[in-house]
Structure 1
Amino acid sequence: MKLCKYLIWMFILLFFSLSSFLFSLFLIYKNYMFMLEWELLSLSSTKIIYLIYLDWISLIFMSLVMFISSMVIIYSKYYMETEINWKRFLYLVLLFVISMLLFIMSPNLISLLLGWDGLGMISYCLVIFYQNVKSYNSGMLTVLMNRVGDIFILMGIVWMVNYGSWNFMMYYLLMKMDLNMQLICFLVVMGAITKSAQIPYSPWLPAAMAAPTPVSALVHSSTLVTAGVYLLIRFFNLLEGMFILKILFLLSILTMFMAGIAANYEFNLKKIIALSTLSQLGLMMSILSINFKLLCFFHLLTHALFKSMLFMSAGVLIHMMLNNQDIRLMGNLVNYTPLVCIMFNISNLALCGMPFMAGFYSKDMMMEMVLMKSFNLFVFFFFFFSIGLTVSYSLRLSWYSMFKEYNMLVCFNLYENYFMLMSMFSLMFLSMIGGCMLMWLFFFHMIMVYMSFLFKMMVLIFMFMGLMSGMFMYKFNKLIKNLYFLSFVSSMWFMNSLFTYGIVNKVMFFGVNLMKIFDLGWLEEFGSQGIYKNIIKMSNMNLYMQMNNLKMYLLMFILLMMLLMLF
């Protein structure tokens, strides 16, 4: 019964994924797009209409989301086998996918908010799924940081009332450099960088690793974190040429650099992969901010393929190691679980940009486009050094977990579940051929890029330099004893303390003082408690008078007679 439910939902998602992909091919061939209006409610002269926008970009992205979701669902059948609340998990994942699809199809800021808020709310439910203190803290950090982005989107919705419609795709030619539209675009960019975890909103992304690994495979590849990038791709015709893109470029390359450095000093398996996702999101944002919208979308899709498989492979390793996530306690796994290690290494090589893997096609073109721009040495160093760090932390991860000496403290349950491997095999296949396939679809017009041999070999050069820097860091870490430096680089430049716990701590401390001074102090005395005490006194006096009524009446009579005699 349990397997049937998972299989049914897997086949439903696979069917819709294939249908969406074939429809997108038709739209690419015909160069069509569809805007559908669905009338939800008609009251007098007011109509509430839900808009659906379908073009080849949205359909290919929807196809990829549903395909990865179907693989994650059948994978989670065996990963979450011992869980009591497996039904809740399955329905939450399905709701998560539906929210993402609603978000992708929306050309309207109001309907877009439906999927945007759904992603934030359901991600909170999934992060706290294991119900312990760490999960609750991570869930609150995730949902509160995402609420900041929601506030910016709500402000954009309010400001768009000036135009009479929330359909931002109608204003491409009309309101391009209008001052109000520039303000709306600024608010949208601020909302997007919170959802895509750019500096200073980065700390929630590694914290979201408290969720089960199948959720991480879905969230960090094609759903929650890519929502901000996809929103900017949709808004890009309005954003083009604005000053905010320069700020976005600076933030994104700093995010790439920070995440790459932090991943080289991290020992938690899932957090290393989460930091690599953060690095890739910075790469996408930086390419988008220098006007390469289609190239950014291309890397978004190729990254989704190999990153979901990387998380699924890591999940199998964690499951085999009895939920241990410390890479220092692994080692020599290649001799015990060869198929899992093959898939893990293939996804790692695709992430590094190994020639003719999925990541190579997008990364190579990105580097060529950056080299053709006239950037200064500062930007050149940060951009290319961050790409080299990708190779460094990927090879460090493979070395620690697979090729180093056997370093396990106890006898772990080493096995390979072939059903889980089958769900990963399709993603492995696409990680190898998906890059060239998508490149043929996206760039069907030949683009002549004329570069010197040195620049053309830049991907291989930086892969080699990343390998060298990784080996240097491995040796250097043994020599370094400065705990302040280690805590600085491994805590994402103290960003947790500065932008989360630092701010929240001061606000909560101020709130506690206010509560002591006002709620438990003077306001308590003159407010509710004071009134309550006076009412109790008066009611006691009234009760005393009623209980001693004869004496009281006589006393009152004597007092009245005395007053009459006096006056």
Structure 2
Amino acid sequence: MLWCYSLCLILSCYLLLIGLSLIIIGVYFITYDIVIFVEYELFMFNGSQFIMTLLFDWMSLIFMGFVLFISSMIIYYSKEYMYGDSFLDRFIILVLMFVFSMMFMIISPNLISILVGWDGLGLVSYCLVIYYQNIKSFNSGMITALSNRVGDSMLLMSIAWLFSYGSWNYFMYIDFFSFNYDVGLISLLIVIAAMTKSAQIPFSPWLPAAMAAPTPVSSLVHSSTLVTAGVYLLIRFNPLYVNSLLVTFLLFISLITMFMSGFCANFEFDLKSIVALSTLSQLGLMMSVLAFGYIYLAFFHLLTHALFKALLFMCSGVIIHSFKDCQDIRYLGNMFNQMPLTCICFVIASLCLCGMPFLSGFYSKDLMLDIYSMGYINMFSYFLFYFSTGLTVSYSFRLIYYLVIKDFSFYSYHNISDESWIMLKGMFIMVIFSIFGGSMLSWLLFPTPILLFMPLNLKIMVLFVCMLGGWLGYILNKFDLFNLMFLYLYNSVGLFFGNMWFMPYITIKFPYFSLLFGYDLVKSSDYGWFEYFGGQGLLILLKFMSLYNQKIQNSVFNIFFIIISFWFILLMFM
């Protein structure tokens, strides 16, 4: 077992060095506008070349660097979080396979190689979700795998449609696509595939269900790997759909997802589920910005979100460990006395999520809100976007209230303290990057200063919405008004909003009723009338005719003798 812990330390150091090196190379690429396209011939068969293609530009290199950096911190964090696990080596191998699948998808300009990385993410995520091997994790893993299979089938169909263009290297000619029927269908398939991976409505229930995985896996999945694959795919395929009606569809779906997840997080009591719903809210935010056509701004928020969301899950893991695997936030409270370092990290990550000025989330979220205010958008979408932003601040301050301010509600005898030094070291490094990462990225990705002239009321409205959301999140939970609303309206509003608009039930029950209908259909048709008029009926008919023919052939001598006798009698009389 000791060699596994040494392996965690060595792997985390290697991944950290490679990740930081890739980030530095990506900065060099963006400075000098360098793009490297690598083609490697695997083999040739009957004059057909099978070529492996790789794309290295500033976007892929910086994203790979962030994935490896966060993975190194999480593997180092897992050294203590998974301490005593009998299958730690299996866990580390699965995490590495997960990271390499994501990296393979990032550097692929070819749809087939993208599908290989995409499927790798889906299969390894299933293995990680069912890691604890109980009924809940098995069900969650099945929901995750089947939801992602929809996206896999969409990618397969888009590969089949791209066959008419002569190559799957979409990167070569994506700027020259004319918007005809083929391109419209391919772009629709790509958008639906991205919606499944990034858990947009109606594919949202798998994201909170994937919380059955160990917390380090949740931290990796929700920060920089699985859920961001759909956003990254849409960034790469942006010219396909940016001037079509799909933009309106994507904007509507993303805003509804953002609103639904923010509202449900205010009614949720499971710590990991709240953080998962916050990821869903941020994914809706990125998708809505992509629908506007600002791909670099969405990529900027993707990177900053990866930093503080990984930190948020790491803090949640420490809290769950300390509270004897209890995830209910109602048992927390006044933890600053027992776990001050973890509480500081958690509060900083939550403030980054809110967009607190001069933290990493501020630089991307404030710019997104300003872009929305300056864009041509209807009032409903504008209100929904700002209201969802206020809900984000509301559930973040709700978490801070339950964690730090509320009275302690756990066991009288407890052993809660900041003694997990290995986990704390990884969290401290993530805190530094969560504070300074946004400003550094804004200087690197946008070297020209962005100057926005806006009316004072629009600029102040961002601050007003955030302050109002934070105040409501604190006041409503301090006086238990959210809980009273939930209890009094449980049979109508509370049950609806607290269960993601019944989408988990639909996701589970719809396949059940479909399977039940299929069983009845097979029983009545395939095993019933089709058998009677088909195979079984034909068998009975042929069997009857065969027996009749056999009976005739068995009695042919008797028939022949009778005929000869009649013939002789006829001759005698004639």
Please confirm whether the aligned pair reaches a TM-score higher than 0.5, indicating the same fold. yes
- Per-residue Cα deviation, 1:16-74 (whole angstroms, up to 9, x for no partner): 11221121111112111000011111223111111100100110000000000000001
Correspondence list, 1:353-502, <5 A: 353-409=355-411, 411-415=413-417, 416-471=419-474, 473-474=476-477, 475-480=480-485, 481-483=488-490, 484-498=492-506, 500-502=507-509
Indicate conservation of the 8 Å contact 1:262/1:491, yes or no.
yes
Indicate conservation of the 8 Å contact 1:322/1:412, yes or no.
no
Gaps of at least 5 residues in structure 1 are 534-558
The DSSP-based 3-state class of the residue aligned with 1:36 is strand
- Per-residue Cα deviation, 1:457-478 (whole angstroms, up to 9, x for no partner): 3332122110233245434324
The DSSP-based 3-state class of the residue aligned with 2:500 is coil
Percent identity reads 49
1:34 aligned onto 2:36: yes
Alpha-carbon distance in 2 for matches of 1:321, 1:201: 32
1:310 aligned onto 2:315: no
Match of 1:196 in 2: 198
Moved more, 465-474 or 337-346: 465-474
Alpha-carbon distance in 1 for matches of 2:314, 2:532: 59
Alpha-carbon distance in 1 for matches of 2:270, 2:496: 17
Moved more, 78-87 or 261-270: 78-87
Match of 1:512 in 2: 519
- Per-residue Cα deviation, 1:441-497 (whole angstroms, up to 9, x for no partner): 011012221012332233321221102332454343244312121110011111122
Correspondence list, 1:230-309, <5 A: 230-309=232-311
1:109 aligned onto 2:111: yes
AA aligned to 2:481 is F
The counterpart of 2:68, out of the listed 60, 66, 69, is 66
Alpha-carbon distance in 2 for matches of 1:414, 1:527: 71
Gaps of at least 5 residues in structure 2 are 541-554, 564-574
Indicate conservation of the 8 Å contact 1:199/1:254, yes or no.
yes
Correspondence list, 1:62-141, <5 A: 62-141=64-143
Indicate conservation of the 8 Å contact 2:360/2:435, yes or no.
yes
Deviation of 1:523 (Å): 7.8
**Relative to structure 1, is the Cα distance of residues 158 and 564 closer, same or farther in structure 2, using a 3 angstrom cutoff?**
closer
Alpha-carbon distance in 2 for matches of 1:522, 1:414: 67
**Relative to structure 1, is the Cα distance of residues 80 and 524 closer, same or farther in structure 2, using a 3 angstrom cutoff?**
farther
Indicate conservation of the 8 Å contact 1:320/1:412, yes or no.
no
**Relative to structure 1, is the Cα distance of residues 170 and 321 closer, same or farther in structure 2, using a 3 angstrom cutoff?**
same
Deviation of 1:529 (Å): 11
Indicate conservation of the 8 Å contact 2:401/2:474, yes or no.
no
Match of 2:18 in 1: 16
Deviation of 1:176 (Å): 3.8
Match of 2:546 in 1: none
**RMSD, aligned CA:** 2.5
Alpha-carbon distance in 2 for matches of 1:294, 1:560: 91
**Relative to structure 1, is the Cα distance of residues 561 and 277 closer, same or farther in structure 2, using a 3 angstrom cutoff?**
closer
Match of 2:164 in 1: 162
The counterpart of 1:57, out of the listed 59, 62, 66, is 59
AA aligned to 1:505 is Y
Match of 1:229 in 2: 231
**TM-score, length basis structure 1:** 0.91
AA aligned to 2:425 is M
The DSSP-based 3-state class of the residue aligned with 2:377 is coil
Alpha-carbon distance in 2 for matches of 1:134, 1:519: 35
**Relative to structure 1, is the Cα distance of residues 488 and 472 closer, same or farther in structure 2, using a 3 angstrom cutoff?**
farther
Alpha-carbon distance in 2 for matches of 1:529, 1:173: 58
How many pairs align?
A: 547
- Per-residue Cα deviation, 1:351-387 (whole angstroms, up to 9, x for no partner): 0000000000001100111011132221121000100
**TM-score, length basis structure 2:** 0.90
The DSSP-based 3-state class of the residue aligned with 1:53 is strand
Alpha-carbon distance in 1 for matches of 2:523, 2:338: 60
Alpha-carbon distance in 2 for matches of 1:431, 1:285: 22
Deviation of 1:562 (Å): 9.0
Indicate conservation of the 8 Å contact 2:101/2:120, yes or no.
yes
AA aligned to 2:505 is S
AA aligned to 1:46 is S
**Relative to structure 1, is the Cα distance of residues 564 and 87 closer, same or farther in structure 2, using a 3 angstrom cutoff?**
same
Alpha-carbon distance in 2 for matches of 1:460, 1:564: 109
Deviation of 1:528 (Å): 11
The counterpart of 1:180, out of the listed 174, 179, 182, is 182
Deviation of 1:502 (Å): 3.4
Alpha-carbon distance in 2 for matches of 1:565, 1:242: 88
The DSSP-based 3-state class of the residue aligned with 1:42 is strand
Moved more, 444-453 or 114-123: 444-453
